[in-house]
């Protein structure tokens, strides 16, 4: 008589003999189902916008887009491995599922970065095959370890589910020892119920704030993610101007002389900051800190400087993504651009996860008014600036790539140039890349039209157009940003608004922004020379 055995938690069935042909076929079939279900999970989470939501949340927390995507890829690897283990019951399918899940999220970015590394770039070194191989190996090892860890935890859960199912089966066949047999299934049900109860609460805490359920409220505040854009039906299905683009700079728009060579500075730059009352109601902060870069030579001279306003990210993000202030110091010290003041105005802590640098439809946030009527006058009154619109430029990436031209068109009496890195040009546009862009406009079609650069450009008076200048950079082949860039630059060139188009196959990434940071600022400086800023 064979002794009865009971599996311990986390154990998988042990085989005392080789599997027969029929058993082997069954295992392979179960493995295939496990991989299919894991793949279905990856597709579902991507299609539902969950992947984009998670990445956007990480970016909002301070990660640059590439690092946020890398972390979401690792999370996807863990989820895919867990599902595969629950179904297959053994380790090989989960490891393969984790690799597939990670590749689905991060594979495209890795290939794009590889293509960029293969291109010769004198200022960034040459392609290193050994370094590339170690990068790929490091990613593979990290994903396999992540998948293995998730698989082990899922294996423990699976063993408890198998035992509970066995108890229910025995209970259905015999009424003896009913209380003992029902204990484990009831415990499993209690755990599932507890997770179902607390999971949404934890999600709300991450989305809206840890205190969100501590008070009764009739409506939820704006969160970091989720929600269907109510403006989607009001957006144009096509955008004008998407043909016949001219790469490079508008003829006669710039002057490559460098009058600042006469006062080329020496010394070190200074980073300082100022705290303003927050330009919003609600949110998680009652103040807003603007970080200010004062160029080399500022402390010892009497020269007045142009000002570059970065919107809407913090200095912290640019330190991580661009290594700021080192590239700015280098451009100034080499004489490629004039010494200038740079101001960073963060939207962090406001009621909207993405402010779109706008005055919101409900009056809860007034980022645009704050920048134009508070920050700019303060900077001009406090520092030695060249206080004219021609000497003020705007700079932004991603959401900031929308903000910079929008603020320029809406405030030509304050700003003269804008640099847009990988931006979009319709307000509130609905996409996985812009999941929160609709919120500040609240479905108001008039407000959307009044804040859409691709539409605003067609209504600017001729005398205003002649004094503006836009530098637009990004990948023209990118599935989302490419059509936006082509349409916007097409309108600029059709309407005769001076521009410079700097395509970059690096796309929506910090490596691409680093590539074009210097050339873009050189063009802004050349435009300011043309306008007589340094006379």
Contact 418/390 with Cβ under 8 angstroms?
Answer: no
Residues 504 and 417 in one domain: yes
Residue 102: domain span: 21-173
Q: Would residue 197 count as lying in a domain?
A: no
Residues 153 and 296 in one domain: no
Residues 166 and 277 in one domain: no
pTM of the predicted protein model:
0.70
Query: Which pLDDT belongs to residue 236?
Result: 38
Residues 144 and 282 in one domain: no
Question: What average pLDDT score do residues 467-477 get?
Answer: 95
Q: Would residue 513 count as lying in a domain?
A: yes
Across the chain, mean pLDDT equals 84
| pLDDT exceeds 50 at position 119 | yes
Of 69-73, 119-123, 415-419, minimum mean pLDDT range: 119-123
Q: Tell me the CATH number at 253.
A: 3.40.50.1820
- For residue 526, give the DSSP letter: H
Exposure string for 399-428, b = 16+ CB within 10 A, e = fewer? bbbbbbbbbbbbbbebbbbbbbbbbbbbbb
Contact 119/75 with Cβ under 8 angstroms?
Answer: no
Residues 296 and 390 in one domain: yes
Higher pLDDT, 208 or 236: 208
Of 132-141, 161-170, 442-451, 489-498, minimum mean pLDDT range: 161-170
HEC-encoded secondary structure of 11-59:
CCCCCCCCCCHHHHHHHHHHHHHHHHHHHHHHHHHHHCCHHHHHHHHHH
Residues 164 and 280 in one domain: no
Q: Would residue 196 count as lying in a domain?
A: no
* Domain boundary pick from 130, 149, 173: 173
- For residue 416, give the DSSP letter: -
Residues 238 and 119 in one domain: no
Q: Would residue 357 count as lying in a domain?
A: yes
Query: Which pLDDT belongs to residue 166?
Result: 76
Q: How many CB atoms lie within 10 A of CB 226?
A: 14
Q: How confident is the model at residue 230 (pLDDT cuts 50, 70, 90)?
A: very low
The predicted-structure confidence for 400-412, as pLDDT tens digits, reads as follows 999 999 999 999 9
Q: Would residue 204 count as lying in a domain?
A: no
The predicted-structure confidence for 326-346, as pLDDT tens digits, reads as follows 999 999 999 999 999 999 999
Residues 489 and 373 in one domain: yes
Q: How many domains, in total, are found in the chain? A: 2
């Amino acid at each position: 008589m064979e002794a009865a055995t009971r599996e311990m938690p986390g154990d998988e069935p042990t085989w005392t003999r080789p599997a027969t042909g029929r058993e082997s076929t069954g295992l392979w079939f179960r493995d295939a189902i496990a991989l299919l279900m894991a793949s279905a999970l990856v597709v579902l989470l991507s299609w539902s916008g969950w992947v984009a939501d998670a990445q956007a949340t990480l970016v909002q927390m301070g990660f640059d887009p590439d690092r946020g995507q890398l972390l979401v890829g690792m999370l996807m690897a863990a989820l895919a491995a867990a599902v595969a283990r629950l179904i297959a019951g053994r380790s090989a399918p989960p490891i393969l599922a984790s690799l597939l899940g990670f590749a689905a999220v991060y594979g495209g970015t890795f290939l794009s970065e590889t293509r960029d590394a293969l291109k010769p770039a004198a200022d960034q070194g040459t392609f290193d095959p050994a370094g590339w191989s170690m990068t790929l190996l490091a990613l593979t090892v990290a994903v396999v370890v992540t998948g293995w860890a998730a698989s082990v935890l899922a294996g423990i859960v699976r063993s408890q589910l198998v035992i509970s199912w066995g108890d229910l089966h025995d209970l259905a066949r015999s009424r003896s020892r009913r209380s003992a047999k029902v204990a484990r299934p009831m415990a499993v049900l209690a755990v599932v119920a507890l997770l179902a109860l607390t999971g949404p609460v934890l999600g709300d805490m991450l989305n809206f704030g840890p205190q969100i359920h501590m008070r009764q409220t009739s409506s939820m505040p704006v969160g970091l993610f989720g929600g269907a854009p109510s403006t989607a039906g009001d957006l144009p299905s096509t955008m004008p101007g998407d043909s016949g683009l001219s790469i490079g700079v508008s003829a006669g728009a710039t002057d490559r002389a460098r009058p600042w060579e006469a006062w080329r500075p020496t010394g070190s730059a200074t980073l300082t900051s100022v705290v303003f009352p927050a330009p919003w109601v609600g949110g998680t902060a009652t103040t807003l800190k603007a970080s200010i870069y004062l160029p080399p030579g500022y402390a010892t001279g009497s020269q007045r400087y142009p000002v570059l306003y970065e919107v809407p990210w913090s200095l912290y993000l640019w330190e991580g993504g661009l290594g700021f202030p080192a590239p700015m110091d280098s451009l100034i010290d080499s004489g490629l651009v004039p010494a200038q003041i740079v101001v960073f105005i963060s939207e962090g802590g406001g009621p909207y996860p993405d402010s779109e640098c706008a005055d919101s439809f409900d009056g809860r946030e007034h980022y645009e008014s704050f920048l134009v009527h508070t920050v700019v006058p303060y900077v001009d009154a406090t520092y030695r600036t060249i206080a004219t619109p021609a000497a003020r430029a705007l700079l932004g990436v991603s959401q900031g790539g929308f903000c910079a031209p929008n603020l320029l068109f809406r405030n030509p009496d304050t700003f003269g140039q804008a640099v847009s890195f990988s931006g979009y040009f319709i307000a509130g546009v609905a996409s996985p890349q812009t999941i929160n862009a609709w919120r500040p406009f609240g479905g108001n079609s008039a407000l959307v039209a009044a804040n859409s650069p691709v539409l605003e450009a067609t209504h600017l008076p001729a005398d205003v157009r002649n004094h503006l200048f836009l530098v637009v950079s990004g990948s023209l082949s990118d599935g989302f940003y490419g059509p936006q860039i082509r349409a916007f630059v097409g309108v600029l060139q059709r309407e005769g608004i001076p521009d410079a188009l700097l395509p970059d196959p690096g796309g929506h990434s910090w490596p691409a922004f680093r590539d074009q940071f210097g050339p873009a600022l050189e063009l802004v400086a050349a435009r300011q020379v043309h306008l007589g800023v340094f006379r």
